Each structure stands twice: as C-alpha cells, then as structure tokens.
Structure 1
Amino acid sequence: MTLEQIITFVAVYRLGSYSKAAESLYLPQPTVSHRVKQLERELGKPLLIRGKGGILLSEEGNAFLPYALNVLNSVERGREAVERLKQGLNGKLSIGCNNSFAASVMPSILESFIHAYPDIAIQVHCYSTQDQIKLMKNKQFQLGITRYATNDPWLTFRLLYATPVHAIVSARHPFAKRGSIRIQDLLKERLIVYQNDTLYRKTLDLTFNSLNLQYDIQYETNNLQLIKQMVHCNRGIFLSCPLFMQGELASGDIVALTIERNPFPQSQVFLMYNEEEMNSLDYLFFRHFESCMNALQAHVKDERPPLKQHAE
C-alpha cells in the first residue's frame, strides 16, 4: 500500500469518476485504474463500484475511507510542520522565564540557539510563575520557563529537569569539606533565602513546618546574584538546586552539599505552554530547549561522587 494509491482512491471517490481523477492528478486514466486495482488487491476487497450516478463506495470502501483520509490529513500536517520550520528560521521569538533561571542557565541555552538560528531576534521576559501565566493568557508569549507547576487547565507543564535541593555553602565554610550535611547541623547555621512572597519561600516554610522545625534567616532577597555573593563571602547557607550555581561551583568558590534524609521537594524546571497558541518559532525553541535540558539532566545522572563522611 502506497501513498499514491491512497491519494488516487480518495480522488476517484471525491470526483466520482476515473477520468476526472486522472485529469485532477495529471495522470493517464489507465494509471489511475491500475493504482486503485493494486490497492483493492492488497486489501482483498473492491473499494469502488460503478453505479448509475457514477463511482460509489463499496461497503469495504466506506469502511476504509476514514483511514485513508486520516493518512492524507497526517501528511498535510507534516508538510505544514516542515513549512513552519522553514518560516521559523527568521523572525522574533518571545519567551517567559523566572529570574533565577535567566541569571544562570538561560544565557548558554540562548547562545547555542542563536548560533543555530542567527536571524531570529529573541525577547526574554523575566517574571514569577504566576505573572508568566497572566502574560501568556494575554498572548504576550506562548512559552514560559518556570520552577513550579500549577493546576491550570489552559496550560501544559512539561517537566524537563529534576534534582534534589542541596545546601550551598562557601568553600571557606567549615562544612565545605563534608560532602553532606544533616538537617540538625543545617539549622545551627543562618540561611540566605528568597523573599517571603515567593513560591521558593512557601515551599521552604511548608517543609520545615511539616518537621516542626524553625530556621534562622541571615539575608532575604529576590536577587540571585546577591545571594551568590553572600554565599561566596560566607554569610550563610542557601538551599537551592546546583543547576543555578554552575559557574561558581565549577570555579570552586562555593560547594554544594547533599542533604542527608533530604525532606525537601526536588528542584524542578518546567516548560509551560499552550500548544494551540504556539507558532513555528515557539516549536523551534521548544525542541532546542528540551534537548539542552535533557543533556543537563543526563549529566546530573552520570555524576555520582562519593559522599565524604563527617564526624558526629
């Protein structure tokens, strides 16, 4: 069974005539008849019969028709997808993103995307998850990058990255050589946290409250760069995903400690979108972003450093 046979069968049915189908497909009529006969031979039943009003569907032809139309529709959607890709090689792309991701991971992803598609202009709107959702519903952009998912039936949240929360400390901190830290020891230190109105802070509070524990705040801010500087200066411990500290961790300025019996929800990265509203540029970045995050996730799974034991 070939696509040409299906196209020819549908053309004969729609036009009600072999000759009209041949004219429409720019083929000799014997070729049209041969294709239909080949299809009927493969299916083992006649699909078209001659009636007083022209060519009609047999019972088997009527059963086969919806599947033939689905094949043609799928091919047409595939052609449209390819055309969208061609059109997506230039234009303006708008993306939503949270501040912590924009300040740490996003630059390298954008750099690789721009290298592949240099004629695409990019706008990055940095907002909280709730604000991104509002702007997406107002059609400001159709792709958003967020650390949290919500129960919004209008949006799809695609999880692309997940890793445990770590205790981020200065390389000069007494805990830096340990490799891991207990909650009891963590609570003896002062923490650096995001501000009270953030989802990060709500998650932190819920976790400690569930354990009936309290923590001591040293600094409170919504600026990731300031948090990194405070950690580097050994002003406190920050509970975070190492993903957002890649450069500082690589330089050795700070250290990520695993948390023993970790009670915190995993740190996650979602791509949120409404597929019905997405255009060709959105799809282009979607695939690129997914590929980048899959590579980062695979790197995390491959890294299994031995934990250093510490004295009681």
Structure 2
Amino acid sequence: MVIKLDLYKVFCKVAKSESFSKAAKDLYLTQPAVSQAIMQLERELDTRLFNRTPKGVSLTNEGSLLFEYVNSAINLIDVGEEKILEFKNLTAGELKIGVGDTISKYFLLPCLEAFHNRYPNIKFYIVNGTTVELCSILKSGEVDIAICNLPIDDPTLELRPCFDIQDTFVYGEKFKKIFSKPLSFQELVKLPLIFLEPKSNSRKYVEDYMISKGIKISPEFELGSHDLLLEFAKINLGIACVTKEFSQEYLNKGLVYEVQLNEEIPKRNIGVCFLKSVPLSPASTKFVEIIENK
C-alpha cells in the first residue's frame, strides 16, 4: 500500500503539471523514474491514465475520474499530518476556513481578531465561496471548517448553528407609497424583485419557503453579492431580498427601508460545518469555541 501511495502522489503531480519533466522536477526525481511510476500504476489498474503528446500529457476520462478521488484522499492525508503537528500548544500551524464574502464581512471578522490576539502564530487561510462550494472543498480536505448559511442537508457534515438571521425585503425612496401598509407575499411578487443568484443557499431558503406557500418568484435581477442587493434597492431598481442583520447600516442611515409583510419568513442560522469523520484540530476547536461564544 505504501508503494501504491507513492505512485498515486506521482500520478497527482503529473496530472496537475501536465508534464512528466515538470513533475519530476517538483518531486526531485528523474523523468524516466516518473514515467516508470505512471506505467507501473497503469499496469496495476489495467487502464491508460494519460494521453501522451509531444507537448505534454493530459488525463484520459478514466484518469480524470481517478484524479478526483486520489487528489481528495491525498489532501486529507496531508491535513491529517498537519493536524498532528498542531498539537504543540498552538505555537505554529495554519487554520483553513471556508466562508462566504458576506458572512466574512459581517460575522467572522471579530472572531478572527479574537483568535489572532490569543494565538498570533497560527496563520489563517481563507477560501471564499457559496455554501455548496464550501461544502465541496470541506469534504475534499482543502479547509478545516466552513462558516455557512444553514440549513444544509449532508449527513457527512457536523453542523453547529451559531447565529440566528432573518431574511427580509428592502426598498428605496421611490417605492415608499406602495409600502404604506403591510403587504402579503402575493402582492410582493408582483413588484420587481432583486434576489441573489439561484445557487445561493440564502436564495434557495427564501424561494423554497415561498413555493411552500404556493408562490413562485421571477426576479428582475439576480446578483452575486449581498452588498449589491442593497445598492440596487437603494437606487430604486426593485425590492431586494436581504439578510436583516447584514443590512443594519443601510437601514439605520435611511438608505433603504424594510418591507412590512403580513407574515415573516422563518429565521434560519449561520453555523460552523466540519467533517464528522475527521477530528477537529486544536486550532479549529479553539476557533469554533470563539464562534459559539460570540
């Protein structure tokens, strides 16, 4: 098994560099040794893994499938080795966190500051993405924990809700007359709506709730960031679906106004996610404690 693991490491390096010679240089091996390793792996699997051309190599379909699993496995092994080293009183190491831009800006920054003040030698590595993207890189071992919009339906992940949030709608000065009294969802969807893009977990939560009420939405605008939702609403381009807790600055300054609805969308959570099958490192454990005590 140890020998095959070495072969898989060579396989991943060749796949990423698309060159036997570049992989050999990175691995401090000769090019013939790398070629031999790949041929040995292909013989053992009875499958051609690379297309060879004068310009380099590329993965076959079978090679691409294998790479997806092997790369994740090697990443997890590397993470495991790193976690062992971190047991030295958090005097060195790295904390890899997956988080979305909005949660990072409005929720995570104070936690990062508190952790850094206590453990200044731990380096941060922050990866941004949507909730779906963060769950994927979490399971591949690229990050230790992810701070995500809940709910998430994934039995492989441990989910710890930390902070309640309220979805709401906001509008600009132009729409003030329309909202002189509370509106129903049926009345609201007749207006020009501004939502996050469909792959957003926040968008999906609100959309699923409205569908459960028999209401289908058809937004005028679908945007990639929460800040843009507020900006579009401010200049009267429509009614934006936003997170109330992340919109307080705009609301307090009177840049936008909150829609009064006949009923509220049920609250949801922001939470910490990590793999059930992989123990948290000491650094991750301490960071989760800071978030839960926020």
Task: Give the Å deviation of 1:216.
Answer: 4.3
Q: Confirm or deny that 1:100 pairs with 2:102.
A: yes
- Residue 132 of structure 2 contacts residue 201 of structure 2 at CA under 8 Å; is this kept in 1? no
Aligned with residue 281 of structure 2, among 252, 267, 279: 279
Match for residue 232 of structure 1?
234
Task: Work out whether residues 179 and 257 of structure 1, in 8 Å CA contact, stay in contact via their aligned partners in 2.
Answer: no
CA–CA separation in structure 1 for the residues paired with 2:158 and 2:113: 26
Tell me the distance in 2 between the aligned counterparts of 1:269 and 1:111: 19
Measure how far apart 1:123 and its partner are.
1.4
Matched, 1:130 2:132: yes
Bigger radius of gyration, 1 or 2? 1
**Match of 1:158?**
160
Separation of aligned partners in 2, 1:101 and 1:160: 12
* Worse overlay, 104-113 or 278-287: 104-113
Alignment partner, residue 174 of structure 1: 176
Which residue identity is paired with 1:268?
A: N
Q: Flag the 1:232–1:285 CA change in 2: closer, same or farther, 3 A.
A: same
Instruction: Verify the 8 A CA contact 1:93 1:121 in the aligned structure 2.
Output: yes
Separation of aligned partners in 1, 2:273 and 2:147: 6
The 1:242–1:86 alpha-carbon spacing in structure 2 relative to 1, beyond 3 Å, is farther
Which of 250, 255, 258 is matched with 2:257 structurally? 255
Change (3 A) 1:153 1:176: same
1:212 counterpart = 2:214: yes
Deviations 1:55-81 (A, max 9, x none): xxxxxxxxxxxxxxxxxxxxxxxxxxx
Which residue in 1 is equivalent to 2:90?
Answer: 88
Kindly report the root-mean-square deviation, in angstroms, between the aligned alpha carbons of the 2 structures.
Answer: 3.0
Q: How does 1:105-124 map to 2 (within 5 A)?
A: 105-124=107-126
Shift of 1:126: 1.1
Cα deviation for residue 265 of structure 1 reads 4.0
Residues 98, 126 of structure 1: 8 Å contact kept: yes
On the 8 A contact 1:170/1:176 being kept in 2, the answer is: no
Unaligned runs of 5+ in 2: 1-85
- Write out per-residue CA displacement over residues 27-49 of structure 1, whole angstroms, 9 at most, x where no aligned residue: xxxxxxxxxxxxxxxxxxxxxxx
Aligned equivalent of 2:64? none
Alpha-carbon distance in structure 1 between the residues aligned to 2:181 and 2:148: 29
Superposition deviation, residue 116 in structure 1: 3.9
* Structure 2 counterpart of 1:274, one-letter code: L
Alignment of 1:17-36 (within 5 A): none
Distance 1:109 1:177 in 2: 38
Number of matched pairs: 209
Q: 1:5-44 counterparts in 2 under 5 A?
A: none
The Cα shift of 1:145 comes to 0.8
Distance in 1 between the 2:174 and 2:87 partners? 50
C-alpha spacing 1:110/1:284, structure 2 compared with 1 (3 Å): same
| Residue identity matched to 2:272 | L
Q: TM-score, normalised by structure 2?
A: 0.61
The 8 Å contact of residues 169 and 175 in structure 1, kept in 2 or not, is answered as no
Once residues 105 and 172 of structure 1 are traced to their aligned partners in structure 2, the CA distance between those partners, rounded to angstroms, is 31
Alpha-carbon separation, structure 2, partners of 1:145 and 1:179: 37
The residue number in structure 2 matching 1:142 is 144
Deviation at residue 289 of structure 1 after TM alignment: 1.1
CA offsets per residue over residues 279-301 of structure 1, 9 Å max, x none?
11101110111122xxxxxxxxx
- 1:267 alignment counterpart: 268
CA contact (8 A) 2:192 2:220 kept: yes
Helix, strand or coil for the counterpart of 2:133?
A: helix
Report deviation, 1:236.
Answer: 1.4
Q: In the alignment, is residue 291 of structure 1 matched against residue 288 of structure 2?
A: no
Structure 1 233/104 Cα, relative in aligned 2: closer, same or farther at 3 Å?
farther
What is the alpha-carbon distance in structure 2 between the residues aligned to residue 112 and residue 181 of structure 1?
A: 42
Equivalent residue, structure 1, for 2:190: 188
Q: 1:175 to 1:154 in 2, by over 3 A?
A: farther
Distance, in Å, in 2 between the alignment partners of 1:186 and 1:110 is: 38
Change (3 A) 1:188 1:278: same
Gaps of 5+ in 1: 1-83, 293-312
Q: TM-score, normalised by structure 1?
A: 0.58
